[in-house]
Amino acid sequence: MSNKILVIDDEEHMCWALEKGLRQEGYQVLTATRGHQGLELIKNETPSLVILDLKMPEMDGLEVLIKTKDILPKLPVIMVTAHGTIDTAIEAMKLGATDYITKPFDLDELKLVVKQALMVSQLQTEVTFLRSELTKKYGRIVGNSKAIQEVCTLIEKVADSNATVLITGESGTGKEVAAVSIHHLSSRRDKPFVPINCAALPEALLESELFGHEKGAFTGAVARKLGRFELSNGGTLFLDEVTEMPLSMQVKLLRVIQERQFERVGGSESIKVDVRVIAATNRDPVECIKTGTLREDLYYRLNVLPIHLPPLRDRLDDIPLLVMHFLNKFNPGQEQPISPDAMGLLFSYNWPGNIRELQNIIERAVILSQGQEIKAHHLPKEIQKKDIPPVESGSDLIINFPEEGISLEGVEKELILKALEKSNGNQTKASQLLGITRSALLYRAQKYQIKL
- Angle (CA) 153-157-161 rounded to 5° is 150
> According to the model, what pLDDT value does residue 129 have?
62
> According to the model, what pLDDT value does residue 398 have?
54
CATH topology for 408-447? Arc Repressor Mutant, subunit A (1.10.10)
> According to the model, what pLDDT value does residue 82 have?
77
Report in angstroms the alpha-carbon separations of 128 from 134, 152, 302, 333, 410: 10, 18, 33, 21, 47
> According to the model, what pLDDT value does residue 402 have?
62
Task: Please tell me if the domain spanning 4-130 has the same topology as the one spanning 408-447.
Answer: no
Report the C-alpha gap between 6 and 4 in whole angstroms: 7
Say which residues have a Cβ less than 8 Å from residue 353's Cβ, sequence separation at least 6.
Answer: 171, 172, 360
Domain range 313-384, its CATH number among 3.40.50.720, 3.10.129.10, 3.30.499.10, 1.10.8.60: 1.10.8.60
Radius of gyration of the chain (CA): 31
Report the C-alpha gap between 167 and 179 in whole angstroms: 8
Please report, for the chain, how many H helices and E strands are present, in that order: 19, 12
> According to the model, what pLDDT value does residue 399 have?
55
Tens digit of each residue's pLDDT (9 = 90 or more) over 216-271: 888 888 888 899 999 999 999 999 999 999 999 999 999 999 999 999 999 988 99
Q: DSSP string spanning 344-397?
A: HHHHHS--TTHHHHHHHHHHHHHHHHTTS-B-GGGS-HHHH---PPPPPTT---
What mean pLDDT is reported for the chain? 86
Tens digit of each residue's pLDDT (9 = 90 or more) over 337-358: 898 888 888 988 889 999 999 9
Residue 28 parent element (H or E): strand 28-32
Helices marked H in 49-106 — which ranges?
Answer: 61-71, 86-94
> According to the model, what pLDDT value does residue 83 have?
63
Is pTM beyond 0.75 here?
Answer: no
> According to the model, what pLDDT value does residue 41 have?
95
Who has greater pLDDT, 17 or 203?
A: 17
pLDDT band of 63, cuts 50, 70, 90: very high
Choose among 347, 352, 353: nearest CA to 320: 347
Percent of the chain with pLDDT over 70: 90
Mean pLDDT is highest, among 174-178, 325-329, 409-413, for 174-178
pLDDT band of 332, cuts 50, 70, 90: confident
Please, which contacts does 106-114 make with residues 24 or more away whose CB atoms are closer than 8 Å?
107/17, 107/18, 107/21, 110/18, 110/21, 110/51, 110/78, 111/21, 111/22, 111/25, 113/78, 114/5, 114/22, 114/27, 114/49, 114/51, 114/78
Average pLDDT score over residue span 56-67: 90
> According to the model, what pLDDT value does residue 1 have?
56
Q: Where are the domains of the chain?
A: 4-130, 146-310, 313-384, 408-447
Quick check: 272 and 158 in contact, CB under 8 A? Answer: no
pLDDT band of 388, cuts 50, 70, 90: very low
CATH number of 4-130: 3.40.50.2300
Who has greater pLDDT, 349 or 395?
A: 349
Amino acid at site 307: I
State the CATH class of domain 146-310.
alpha beta
Residue 392 pLDDT > 70: no
Quick check: 256 and 262 in contact, CB under 8 A? Answer: yes
> According to the model, what pLDDT value does residue 400 have?
59
